[in-house]
């Protein structure tokens, strides 16, 4: 891969094309995104997300960005923990995902503490040191310049603030990998074809997980971006991991 190319799943594409290709994926899947998450993970993504939010040490009054927040699952789980003064921005680059997200927050009665805003993780529209928490669930994998996004998170965190990233990672027991690969490359695209009429987006999902930095590499990237006290914990044998990084 040269400096002018990057990966989009297993394909090498021009760096400047990746964002639009990712955009096509999420515009295509937005309407079926939540149903597909339940089908693909047998509902387990809900447990991962609940656990993730329970680790954030949220307090009333906090200012929070749920980055790449898509259809708003994480924002909806955080909202009741912020009291009358806390505030969440549900930020995402994709208008179709945000539109589903805004509707779902309204339906769940969680919209009053949440502002919906379109933004690119690589250039966050916030002043330096203005946020207490940044959450990013299953989003970083899709960003073209991950190091830029991580540096932006470090820039906008207040001292004492924390970035928490929930993302697919590397399955730890090597014995499990063949089964996980079989499931990812056979079952996911078929579910995508059957329930979303879109096998390609779910093929991209399986490929993008394999191209994403593993636990240790992501930890190093977070340190290089200026985050401090960086650590991670695996969920479900490393299918996912939660990485945390702080500003002191």
Binding flag, residue 121, ligand SAM (CB under 6 A): yes
Q: Which position among 6, 94, 169, 170 is part of the footprint of ligand SAM (CB under 6 A)?
A: 94
Residue ranges with strand state E in the chain: 5-8, 11-14, 63-67, 87-92, 114-118, 131-137, 157-168, 228-235, 240-246
Binding flag, residue 26, ligand SAM (CB under 6 A): yes
CB of 186 to ligand SAM, least distance (A): 20
Q: Which position among 86, 139, 161, 245 is part of the footprint of ligand SAM (CB under 6 A)?
A: 139
CB of 194 to ligand SAM, least distance (A): 19
Q: Which position among 6, 142, 169, 184 is part of the footprint of ligand SAM (CB under 6 A)?
A: 142
User: Distance between CA 84 and CA 80 in Å, rounded?
Assistant: 9
The pairing of beta strand 114-118 with beta strand 87-92: parallel
User: Distance between CA 102 and CA 97 in Å, rounded?
Assistant: 9
Residue matched to tokens 């079926």: 32
Residue with Cβ nearer ligand SAM (63 or 152): 152
User: Distance between CA 23 and CA 76 in Å, rounded?
Assistant: 23
Residue with Cβ nearer ligand SAM (122 or 200): 122
Q: Where along the sequence are the contacts to ligand SAM (CB under 6 A)?
A: 22, 26, 68-71, 73-74, 92-94, 97, 120-122, 137-139, 142-143
């Amino acid at each position: 891969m040269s400096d002018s190319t990057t990966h989009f799943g297993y394909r090498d594409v021009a760096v400047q094309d990746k964002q639009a290709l990712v955009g096509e994926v999420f515009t295509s899947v937005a309407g079926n995104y939540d149903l597909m998450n339940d089908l693909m993970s047998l509902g387990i993504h809900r447990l991962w997300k609940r656990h993730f939010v329970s680790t954030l040490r949220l307090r009333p009054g906090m200012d929070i960005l749920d980055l790449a927040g898509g259809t708003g699952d994480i924002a909806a789980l955080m909202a009741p923990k912020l009291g009358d003064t806390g505030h969440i921005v549900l930020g995402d680059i994709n208008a179709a995902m945000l539109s589903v997200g805004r509707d779902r927050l309204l339906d769940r009665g969680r919209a009053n503490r949440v502002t919906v805003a379109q933004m690119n993780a690589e250039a966050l529209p916030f002043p330096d040191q203005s946020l207490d928490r940044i959450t990013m669930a299953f989003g970083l994998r899709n960003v073209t310049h991950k190091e830029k996004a991580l540096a932006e998170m470090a820039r906008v965190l207040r001292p004492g603030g924390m970035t928490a990233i929930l993302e697919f990672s590397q399955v730890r027991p090597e014995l499990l990998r063949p089964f996980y690969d079989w499931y990812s490359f056979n079952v996911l695209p078929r579910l995508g074809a059957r329930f979303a009429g879109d096998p390609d987006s779910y093929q991209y999902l399986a490929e993008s997980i394999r191209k994403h930095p593993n636990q240790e590499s992501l930890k190093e990237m977070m340190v290089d971006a200026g985050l401090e006290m960086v650590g991670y914990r695996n969920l479900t044998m490393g299918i996912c991991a939660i990485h945390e990084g702080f500003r002191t």
